[in-house]
Amino acid sequence: MQRAEEVTFAAGGVDRAAYLRDDAEKIADLWQAQETRVVVLWRGKLLCQIVSGDDDTEEPVCLSLITPQEQLAQDHAGSAIFLGKGADQAAVFAVDVSAWEPEDLDATTLGGFLDPSLQRHPELPADTAFAELRRIMTVLTREEAEFAATARALCGWHHSHRFCANCGEKSEIVQAGWQRRCPSCNTGHFPRTDPVVIMLITFGDSVLVGRSPGWPEGMYSLLAGFVEPGETLEAAVRRETFEETGVRVGDVSYLSSQPWPFPMSLMFGCAGVALSRDINIDPNEIEDALWVSRQDMMTVFAGEHDRIKQPREGAIAHFLLQNWLADTLD
């Protein structure tokens, strides 16, 4: 697929400079450099620049990076993660300030399908706030998106892997944030990435879509599921499609991939050719599934379908369907 790396979070051109991760002295020098910038996260949300609209609505428009010299960065210097270097060769780090508790926090807004809330930190400029990455992913530059996805995934991994899986002792951050090591048994732990297949299953001129319980009304997307141990991508596509819809799949081919930091997955976009149109959904897996013709999907993307809403822009499902409609999958 010629446009494979145009998907959100891909091909940002970040130089990860992995050779520096074991050089504590060099990392310390980079942290102190005047040109270095820091991505700030709070409970998975990223610090963003906020603008106000004519109707008093507030929208995040880009990442807001701070310097290591600012007090908030200094307070978290011991757990800073080196993300790499940008196009200007300036180093970029990430710090997680999730221990901060905002005043009057409405916790019910957090962790939903799309969190619309903004949180302002008292030590940061008034025109910045923490915003959900899903909300801003389509307005970020490619470089910003890669840094944001990497930072969110790594901070999420550190939060959920604070203790050694081998002996249970609390582990420590090493390799500039790219490893945790247990001081008790010396076991090293590395960031995990969960492989997920997402399937563009077609039969003639129709595509198979489904919806999960709890999704916004009318939202349908491509089928997806985790790859199991000992399984190929092709086998996972066939198994997941059959388990969820009862549809058998023949030929399978790879299309594109997308880092999906919610919390730490790699989506493998695949095409599959269905052997029949018969659908028999498993209600424990999905709520509904249906075949949508190319003409109807064009109506969906135009926002004019009376039942179906398109997948979220920025997600690989949207990207694959858009290219299917444009006949640019090859």
* Confidence band of 115 (pLDDT split at 50, 70, 90): confident
Asked if residue 109 has pLDDT above 90, the reply is no
Number of neighbours of residue 42 by Cβ within 10 angstroms: 20
How far is the C-alpha of 140 from the C-alpha of 143, rounded, in Å? 8
pTM of the model: 0.94
Do 163 and 171 contact (CB within 8 A), yes or no?
Answer: yes
How far lies 115's CA from each of 107, 160, 215, 328, in Å?
10, 21, 13, 33
In the 3-class helix/strand/coil scheme, how is 113-168 assigned residue by residue? CCCCCCECCCCCCCCEEEECHHHHCCCCCHHHHHHHHHHHHHHHHHHHCCECCCCC
Work out the mean pLDDT of the chain and round it to a whole number: 95
- pLDDT-based confidence at 108, cuts 50/70/90? confident
What was the pLDDT predicted at 105? 85
Per-residue model confidence (pLDDT) at position 71: 96
Other beta carbons within 10 angstroms of residue 98's beta carbon come to 13
**pLDDT at position 225:** 97
pLDDT at res. 110: 82
- Residue 55: pLDDT over 80: no
* DSSP states of 226-276: EPPTT--HHHHHHHHHHHHH---EEEEEEEEEEEETTTTEEEEEEEEEES-
Distance CA 220, CA 317 (A): 10
pLDDT at 2: 83
For the chain, the C-alpha Rg in angstroms (whole number) is: 22
Calculate ∠ Cα 130-43-115, nearest 5°: 60
Of 51-60, 198-207, 270-279, minimum mean pLDDT range:
51-60
pLDDT tens digit sequence for 280-321: 999 999 999 999 999 999 999 999 999 999 999 999 999 999
Q: Is the pLDDT of residue 54 over 90?
A: no
Distances in whole angstroms, Cα of residue 304 to Cα of each of 212, 274, 299, 310, 314: 22, 27, 5, 10, 20
| pLDDT tens track for 228-269 | 999 999 999 999 999 999 999 999 999 999 999 999 999 999
> CA 136 to CA 309: how far, in whole Å?
19
- Tokens representing 260 are 């999906």
Q: What would the pLDDT profile of 193-226 be if each residue is shown by its tens digit? A: 999 999 999 999 999 999 999 899 999 999 999 9
Q: For the chain, which domains are there?
A: 4-160 (no CATH), 164-190 (no CATH), 194-326 (3.90.79.10)
Helix axes 316-326, 294-301, angle to 10 degrees: 120
